[in-house]
Amino acid sequence: MYVSNEVQLKVENIHIAFGGVKALREVSIEVRKGEIFSLIGPNGAGKTVCLNCINGLYHPQEGKIFFEGENITHLRPYQRAKLGIARSFQKIELFKGMTVLDNIRLGRHIHLKTNLIEGAVYLGRAARQEIEHREFIEKEIIDLLEIEHIRDKVVGMLPYGLQKRVELARALALNPRLLILDEPMAGLNLEEVEDMARFILDVNEEDRWKVTCLLVEHDMGVVMDISHRVAVLNFGEKIAEGTPQEIQKNPLVIQAYLGEVESLYATRR
């Protein structure tokens, strides 16, 4: 996919502390439209905190966040979702007693235009919208993620790897312009990791989607293979940013991960 020079997401000098713990200190990143931008770092570096600030679960005490030129620093999560920011979580946040299809449909709620009465009687505009949303889910998401065989299964009965795929499906149901993925490979076996990486690339590259992706991930092989650019956090501070090739050779990054100078990419080998 062509990566634009246009900055779609700008995080500007954000700072957030919990009591005496400084989780983020003057962190700035710029995510360009059309790219896969990865945020990496050791455990406790502040990666998920940064994502929580971007999608509105946390509000930084200092700094600003801009999405497509609009200051979203103080917007609530649902308001950011309306702007096209979707999120999947490190720990699966699905409704385990509901089916796969119903979980995905929940991701479309932001696009519903009917009122309570129209929805209750299920006529006219409500019926048309239900058909349109169902077609979008079936043709664009279920087919893409290859989950037709589990569409009517109860989520809580599915293997972990498939639940992670449903989590991605629900995020895509929002039809986002920015997709935030918090450790989508965590807990997956090698085959599942390869599938998930392929799905992320499809969402980023296919003409139907062309979604900018912000990825937090510990699997360095995946990060280095699919990212356009990478930023590195350590103890709440950004210590490096660049292409995967530049990050692999950066002594500060290698030391943060390994404590010694050797190939960062070799950590997966």
Q: What is the DSSP string of the chain?
A: -PPPSSEEEEEEEEEEEETTEEEEEEEEEEEETT-EEEEE-STTSSHHHHHHHHHTSS--SEEEEEETTEE-TT--HHHHHHTTEEEE-SS----TTSBHHHHHHHTTGGG----HHHHHHT-THHHHHHHHHHHHIIIIIIHHHT-GGGTTSBGGGS-HHHHHHHHHHHHHHT--SEEEEESTTTT--HHHHHHHHHHHHHHHHSTTT--EEEEE-S-HHHHHHH-SEEEEEETTEEEEEE-HHHHHH-HHHHHHHHSS-S-SGGGG-
Average pLDDT over residues 6-30: 95
Domains observed in the chain: 1-84+176-269 (3.40.50.300), 98-174 (no CATH)
Q: What digits encode the pLDDT tens for the residues 105-131? A: 888 877 666 554 454 445 556 667 666
Tokens of 72: 């979203």
Q: Which phi and psi (to 5°) does residue 58 adopt?
A: -120, 155
Average pLDDT over residues 192-209: 95
If pLDDT is split at 50, 70 and 90, which confidence band does 263 have? very low
d(CA 198, CA 218) in angstroms, rounded, equals 17
Average pLDDT over residues 123-143: 75
- Residue 93 is predicted with a pLDDT of 83
- Residue 209 is predicted with a pLDDT of 92
Nearest to 46 by CA among 75, 67, 26: 26
d(CA 267, CA 54) in angstroms, rounded, equals 29
Could you count the other beta carbons within 10 Å of the beta carbon of residue 255? 14
Sign of CA dihedral 137, 139, 144, 146: positive
Entry pTM: 0.87
**What's the mean pLDDT when you consider all of the chain?**
88
Q: What digits encode the pLDDT tens for the residues 58-103? A: 999 999 999 999 999 999 999 999 999 999 988 888 999 999 999 9
State which amino acid sits at residue 191. Answer: E
Residues 250, 231 contacting (CB under 8 angstroms): no
Residues 185, 222 contacting (CB under 8 angstroms): yes
State which amino acid sits at residue 45. Answer: A
Q: What digits encode the pLDDT tens for the residues 32-60? A: 999 999 999 998 899 999 999 999 999 99
Q: Which phi and psi (to 5°) does residue 208 adopt?
A: -65, -30
- Residue 126 is predicted with a pLDDT of 62
- Residue 73 is predicted with a pLDDT of 97
If pLDDT is split at 50, 70 and 90, which confidence band does 261 have? very low
Q: Which phi and psi (to 5°) does residue 44 adopt?
A: 80, 10
Q: Is the pLDDT of residue 193 over 90?
A: yes
d(CA 68, CA 13) in angstroms, rounded, equals 17
- Residue 200 is predicted with a pLDDT of 97
Max mean pLDDT among 15-24, 112-121, 251-260 falls in 15-24
- What are the residues whose beta carbons fall under 8 Å from the beta carbon of 117, sequence distance 6 or more? none
